[in-house]
Each structure stands twice: as C-alpha cells, then as structure tokens.
Amino acid sequence: MNQNEMSIRFDARSVNEAFARVAVSAFVAELNPTLDEIADLKTAVSEAVTNAIIHGYSDPKQQVALSCRIEGEQIEIVVEDQGVGMADVKKAMEPFYTTRPELERSGMGFAFMEAFMDELEVTSEPGRGTRVVMRKRFGKQEG
C-alpha cells in the first residue's frame, strides 16, 4: 500500500496560505491527480489555512500546523491552530457565517471545504484552538 506523511508549521501570516497550497499540491503529486482534483484540493487547503490565520489568531507570530498523510489513493489533510477556538462549530459551518465581517469575509470557507473534499471533520474548543481534518480520494469513478 502506498503510504507517505509530512508535516510543517508556519507563522499565521496570510502570505503562508499560498505556501500551504503549493506544499500540499507537491506532496500529493505522487497520486497523479487531475487538474480538477488539484484545483479542488488547493481551494480546500486555502480555506482551512485562511480560517486558522484569520479567525484563529490575532498574532502572526503564532503557528499553524499542517500535516498530510497519503494512504493508498486517499490524502488526509489536517490543519490545526491553538487560537481562539469556536464554541459552536455547527453555527460556524453555516454558509455566510463569519466572525470577521469587517474584513469582508464571505463566510463560505467550510462550505468550500465540504464541496471539494470527500470528508470534513471540524473540532474546536474555545481558548484551545481548532482542528480541521479533510480527506479526498483521487481517481475515484463518477456515476
């Protein structure tokens, strides 16, 4: 069975969202994904990392953890912060809900993650941070 893992930590700065997208895209290359699969993956990773940076922290010196694991034809991506956390994950996952309306955020981050990934799990605790786990199987047959 094909297995591979990686993990990185980076400062909670918006510029690192692009770094995270590229790192995950390069890591998953061994699965030979289609351009559509890569686009979906990049969107989901961008949203998860942006949520950690924008909603999780107020200090860019704090760290976001990103890990990936390939098992067979599936990738599991975990994005974690130790920021403010969320009291009501269900509410936060509603389309158009945002904790930062002053930044003109659309509130669609979790909706995009759900749409582009096969599985999404979000756990959070106020004052302790948030953990987002996304899974996607590559090369699955439609229909």
**Is 105 a residue of the active site?**
yes
Query: Which ranges in 1-143 belong to alpha helices (H)?
Result: 16-28, 35-51, 89-92, 109-116
pLDDT reading at 59 higher than 60: yes
Residue of 16, 17, 37, 51 marked catalytic: 51
What CATH number does residue 108 fall under? 3.30.565.10
Q: Average pLDDT of 113-124?
A: 91
**Is 51 a residue of the active site?**
yes
Please state whether the predicted TM-score (pTM) of the whole model is above 0.85: yes
**Is 47 a residue of the active site?**
yes
Q: Helix or strand or coil: residue 51?
A: helix
pLDDT reading at 143 higher than 60: no
Residue of 17, 21, 37, 47 marked catalytic: 47
**What is the domain range of residue 43?**
3-137
Per-residue pLDDT of 20-33, as tens digits, reads: 999 999 999 999 99
Answer whether residue 143 is part of any domain.
no
Where residue 96 falls (left for φ over 0; alpha for ψ -120 to 50; beta otherwise) is: left
Residue of 13, 105, 135, 137 marked catalytic: 105
Question: How many domains is the chain built from?
Answer: 1
pLDDT reading at 96 higher than 80: no
Answer whether residue 37 is part of any domain.
yes
pLDDT at 28: 95
Contact partners, residue 125, CB within 8 Å, separation at least 6: 85
pLDDT reading at 119 higher than 80: yes
